[in-house]
Amino acid sequence: MEGKRSSSERSVLLRKIREFTRAIVEDLSNGRSPIVLIDRFRNYCTNQDAICYCSSDLLNGKETLTLRRESHVHRLDVLLRVLLIVQKLLQENRHGSKRDIYYMHPSVFSEQSVVDRAINDICILMQCSRHNLNVVSVGKGLVMGWIRFLENRRKFDCINRPNMAHPIPVHVEEVKDIVSVAHYILVVEKESVFERLANDQFCNANRCIVITGRGYPDIPTRRFLRLLIDKLCLPAYCLVDCDPYGFDILTTYRFGSMQMAYDAKYLRCPEVCWLGAFPSDSEKYCLPQQCLLPLTAQDRRKIEAMLNRCYLQRDVPKWRLELELMLQRGVKFEIEALSVHSLSFLSQEYIPSKIQGGVHI
């Protein structure tokens, strides 16, 4: 569903919106209850015994919305209100954030997640990506290292100062003229780790590109990583906390999220390898007991649910083994725990030895 926002594409989207709304008006004028069919997608299932096609972007059935069901009335109201806002954005060639849209009708929308679902429904109905609707995310990702590029005539020159953080562009489709002499891309979960690497001059010493989504990555961060992998053909590694949430962030980069499974083809990065931190690293790097935290009941439930995802068994069985080990040992630890050896252990020992020694899965 990916694509650039050219004037012709805006015209196509506006035509689709007009046709969709006209059909609803005609149904209402003729005394019929409109029926809206929304395709459903998934990027994994929990059936590990059967042949699974979740990674093939196949439909997972349809959802039927109708005014005859009271529970659907509000949802259709929200969908049409958001669609009207999107239509105006496209007509005026302006952009708005999800939060902007929410505040246009806060009493009707009630909470942000209601708007988010409507935007996803509209993308599916119009067969496009969110950025094609001129709905943008407030970017939070950062990049540094051996890369230079342009975005809408604005120059990002990270090469000149490889250890200085730059914001990841929100309009990724407008990024062009990418130049890099990096050897690999490193994705780190947390801003604190990103800053540690910057302070240690990591990019100077290792000639790489470092990206962080500052937790669960937003869409621009995921799209930007996908773009760099496609354009530069570099290996990509991911470093996350050794806990269930770090692992979930890792799978979001590699396999995409269920919420946006309809667009997973353009958001996931199957090339990403897991660099750490592995549950087995606690013994390998002799972490003291004080650095290990017990898994909570909620942690255990999350791990057990993730273990059922079909892609772990099918695509990355070694990841699944490490996740099982985390559950078996009943402990977790943060990346920063490696600093118990020295403040720069992560940048000078842990990451270089894993990449040079091929210790990633």
Catalytic center residues:
103
Cβ atoms < 10 Å from Cβ of 217: 24
The span from the CA of 334 to the CA of 323, in Å, is: 15
The span from the CA of 184 to the CA of 72, in Å, is: 48
Half-sphere exposure of 2 (CA within 13 A, CB side): 17
| Pairing assessment for the beta strands 175-180 and 185-188 based on DSSP bridges | unpaired
CA distances from 245 to 101, 160, 214, 240, 301 (A): 29, 35, 13, 9, 12
The span from the CA of 68 to the CA of 177, in Å, is: 52
User: 34 and 24 in contact (C-beta within 8 Å)?
Assistant: yes
Measured distance between the N- and C-terminal CA atoms of the chain, rounded to whole angstroms = 30
Return all residues near 352 (Cβ < 8 A) that are at least 6 apart: 206
User: 86 and 133 in contact (C-beta within 8 Å)?
Assistant: yes
Strands in 142-145's sheet, in edge-to-edge order, are 166-167, 142-145, 209-212, 185-188, 236-239, 272-276
The span from the CA of 308 to the CA of 297, in Å, is: 17
Question: What DSSP string describes 1-12?
Answer: ------HHHHHH
- Tell me the sheet residues that pair with 59: 41
Closest C-alpha to 67, from 38, 28, 104, 106: 28
Q: Which one-letter DSSP state was computed for residue 333?
A: B
Closest C-alpha to 232, from 272, 186, 180, 271: 180
